[in-house]
Structure formats: C-alpha cells, structure tokens
C-alpha cells in the first residue's frame, strides 16, 4: 500500500470504478503474454502533465509496468518465442491471445534470436478445458526443414527438440517456420484455438 490506498481501494472496488477495473483487466490480462504485468492505482494531489495546476479532479491514476520473465540458470537462458515478434506468412492469427482461426491453415515465422546459440525448444499447451468457442489447438504441426526444403510433422511426441534434432529446422539466422493445420471437424468461424506456447533454451554467443 502506498499513499491514500484506502481511498483508491474503495474507488476501484465499487460502482463504475469496479466496471472500469474489470475492463482494464479483460483488455490487458487475457490470453498469452510473455511478461509479468503490474497495475498500480494512485491518487495525486497535483497533475504533473498539464500546465494548468488548479484543475478540479476526481478518481485515480493507473500505472502499468511489465517485467520480462526470461529465466537464467548458469550461462543458459530460457525465453518465450512470442517475445521476438513472430510474423504471419498466411492464415489468421492474433498475437495478443496466441489464437488462430481454425478454418484455414496458419503459417508463422518465429525469429528466435540471431544473437543466441539455440540449444533447444519445447512446445507447451495451455491448461484449458476445451469449450465450444475457445479450444486448444487440435491438428498437425509441421516444421519447415531448411535442409530438405519441405515440411516435417513435429518429430517429438513430448514436444521437445534439442541438438541435432533441432538443427534442420533453424535457418542461419535462427528462424523457425511452423505450419498449423487444424482438424476439419473443428472448422467454425466462431471458434478460436490456442496455439502451443514455444519456449527457447539458449546461450548467448561469446
């Protein structure tokens, strides 16, 4: 608690303040994101962003901050592939929620970090009870093979690729191309499907 926290707490937990808080959280804290997000509510006596100081004001200010969640162990670091701004080659994809439209196949280009020495990647599904309109991805994932020029189905049952098994699927610039092909039984314009989260384990180049 900082400052007049009782006033701020009462304001955002009742009436229109509560509705506004619900809106903020629904807009900023839904789906996947690769960082930790903090929200602060403060009441300032003076407004610091206007030339006119004698302004009658009500309510509180909302401060937001995000913190990267890269994990380090020794000289290895683990981070989320979504933090490197993936590029959609074809299909319909929403980066904010990491969801796709299952009516059409999706192809995404993931730059994993040219400056990194990639040791391995793993795919993790979100823990979600499949519903009618929001589901986990159901279908096949195929990785582009830079050695053969074709696509291979994900060769690992546990969702982990390391060392020589990963090498064919990384470009010289440490890029990964994945094609997601949903099952035809799940086709519907209303449904969205969560894609697996991709985590990268790497060492920084010396």
* Average pLDDT value for residue range 76-100: 89
Is 105:180 a contact under the CB 8 Å cutoff? yes
Per-residue pLDDT tens over the stretch 34-54: 677 777 776 665 555 556 666
pLDDT score recorded for residue 32? 58
pTM higher than the cut 0.95: no
Round to whole Å and give the CA distance between 197 and 179.
14
Task: Kindly report the CATH number assigned to the domain that includes residue 132.
Answer: 2.60.120
Cβ pair 107, 181 in contact under 8 A: no
Read off the tokens for 56.
């009658």
20 or 80, which is more confident: 80
Of 69, 104, 119, which residue constitutes the final position of a domain? 69
pLDDT at 33: 64
Q: What proportion of the chain, given as a percentage, has pLDDT over 70?
A: 72
- pLDDT at 176 (0 to 100): 96
Last residue of a domain, one of 69, 104, 123: 69
């Amino acid at each position: 608690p900082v400052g007049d926290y009782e006033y701020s707490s009462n304001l955002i937990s009742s009436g229109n303040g509560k509705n506004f808080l619900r809106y903020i959280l629904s807009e900023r804290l839904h789906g996947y994101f690769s960082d930790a997000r903090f929200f602060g509510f403060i009441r300032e006596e003076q407004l610091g962003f206007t030339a006119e100081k004698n302004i009658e004001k009500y309510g509180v200010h909302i401060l937001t901050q995000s913190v990267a969640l890269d994990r380090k162990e020794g000289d290895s670091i683990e981070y989320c592939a979504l933090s490197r701004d993936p590029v959609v080659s074809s299909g319909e994809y929403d980066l904010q929620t990491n969801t796709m439209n299952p009516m059409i196949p999706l192809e995404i280009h993931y730059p994993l970090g040219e400056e990194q020495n990639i040791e391995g990647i793993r795919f993790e599904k979100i823990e979600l009870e499949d519903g009618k309109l929001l589901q986990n991805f159901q279908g096949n994932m195929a990785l582009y093979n830079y050695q053969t020029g074709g696509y291979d189905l994900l060769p690992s049952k546990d969702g982990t690729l390391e060392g020589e098994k990963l090498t064919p699927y990384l470009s010289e610039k440490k890029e990964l191309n994945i094609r997601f092909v949903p099952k035809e039984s799940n086709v519907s314009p209303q449904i969205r499907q969560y894609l697996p989260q991709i985590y990268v384990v790497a060492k920084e180049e010396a």
